[in-house]
Amino acid sequence: MFFAALILSACGASGTPPGEGAAGPFGQTGVDEVCYDTHIRSASCDEGDPELCWDEAWADLSFCLADDASFADWEHNLDSDQDGLTDEEELNTYGTDPLDDDTDDDGLRDGEEVLTYHTDPLNPDTDGDGLDDRDEVIGYDTDPNDVDTDGDGLEDGEEVHDYNSDPLLTDTDEDGLSDGDEVYVYGTPPDDHDIDGDGLNDGEEIAIGTDPYSWDTDDDGLNDFQEVYNTGTSPLAWDTDGGGRSDGGEVNTDGTDPLYPADDLLDSDEDGLTDWDENNVYGTDPFAPDTDGDGLDDGDEVQDHGTDPNIADTDGDGIDDGDEVEEPWTDPTKADTDDDGLEDGDELEHGTDPNDRDSDNDGLSDGDEVWTHGTDPLNLDSDGDGLDDGDEVQEHGTDPFAPDTDGDGLDDPDEIWQYGTDPTNPDTDGDGCSDGEEVEDGNDPLDPCPECHLRGEGMCDFITQQGKAAGCSTGAGSGPGLVLALLGLMIRYRR
């Protein structure tokens, strides 16, 4: 509320005392005038300090009127802030500030808001749509009293600030979908008519049932636009004709009709693989049944054997896949079919069986015989001594290449099975005579002091007898008895 305090003073025109006929401010002459000093102040002034309120008064007016009646008319029409509303209207009707032409600071004068735009002069955003009244009127030409000027389901402020859409158009991008539906129903942008760039606008995609965010909804290799307008196929079906090939495969690769199922599985070389699979999956030649020339058709390699139709020898064992499959019936995906340490190709070179890890059944794998022991993988007894190579290596420690490993005159199997001597020790009993000599002389190769039976003129027989005579106390080859025996032998031979 505002108050006016009037101070009357007597004055004439231009301050001339009344009655002197001077012209007044309104052209009166010869008429006494009443002059006023008025102070307009706000009721918000501190009531406790009137002087302070007067010092903070918003306006001081000094004027002279012909009479009090003229003052009443003036006061009634007074518009202190020149906003188009009288002070009386601002104070008593609209609650606006008569000394501020734009009470809500929205860029529109109070009078414009009330008289022209019918907006609230106390609210900068009358319709609460996120745009100030002046921006709606001057900037966007929207209705400051309507939260959604174009009725598309988006508030004017959302369109301007959030979605870059036009608040005066229900369908900014002209895709057949209202801006509000794009945002709140379909999730598409209201300012881009074809978000996936497939040639169908978002509205068409929604109507057809395709995905407006997917260039190729059915993932068949043809974009949605092509299927609808060019090929006549369904953008919702990977294989429109149900023949087993994708629409894109037929159109882009095979050159077949995507609406005719009989031509879907074209196999030009009749190798069991469709041309499309050969081109796009396996990289084989769709016009050559055996791309790698290994003797197996591409289809057999892929579907039956698991081999590579582009490599003649898939496992790199030196045998082409076709040969392995036909003969010797080895595994074309495994270099060493029998796991014996020899690759299949090496086995064929050595004559061994690539499906039998021990071709000669001697207890040694073919690989061990070839690479470790050097024995013959096709002969179970390489040295012909009667012991299998495996027994010699694994059980007895004998040489599978030497019939008499210790060179004592007895073959290894005789020592093992007949005499019980050590085939790796030439003198098993350590009596100074080799096992072979003892056996030859009829002595026991396991007893350093055998019963003496002179069977000849051999040194070992004589020494053995002398050792027996000496009681073998120091062994057959030591002590005075041995010396005497040697001397006696020498004398005997000299005679």
Q: How far is CA 27 from the centre of its chain?
A: 93
Long-range contacts of 417-421 (CB under 8 A, 24+ apart): 419/445, 419/446, 420/446, 421/445, 421/446
Pick the residue with more confidence: 456 or 84?
Answer: 84
CA distance 387 to 367: 20
Tens of pLDDT along 16-69?
333 334 333 334 343 344 454 444 444 444 444 444 333 333 444 444 545 555
pLDDT at 201 over 90: yes
Please give the angle made by the CA atoms of 378, 381 and 383, to the nearest 5 degrees: 115
Which pTM value belongs to this model?
A: 0.49
pLDDT digits (tens, 9 = 90+) for 89-101: 999 999 999 999 9
- The pLDDT tens digits of the residues spanning 141-174 come to 999 999 999 999 999 999 999 999 999 999 999 9
Decide if pLDDT at 6 tops 90: no
Task: Classify strands 33-42 and 59-65 as parallel, antiparallel or unpaired.
Answer: antiparallel
pLDDT tens per residue, range 349-384:
999 999 999 999 999 999 999 999 999 999 999 999
Identify the band that residue 489 occupies on the pLDDT scale cut at 50, 70 and 90: very low
Contact 324, 304 (CB under 8 A): no
Q: Is 319 exposed, middle or buried (0-12, 13-18, 19+ CB in 10 A)?
A: buried
Integer Cα distance of 308 and 304 in angstroms: 11
Confidence of residue 70 (pLDDT cuts 50, 70, 90): low
Burial (0-12, 13-18, 19+ Cβ within 10 Å), 95: exposed
Dihedral angle sign, alpha carbons of residues 399, 401, 404, 406: negative
Higher-pLDDT residue of 123 and 77 is: 123
At residue 72, the pLDDT reads 65
Average pLDDT over residues 102-108: 96
Q: Which residue has the higher pLDDT, 111 or 65?
A: 111
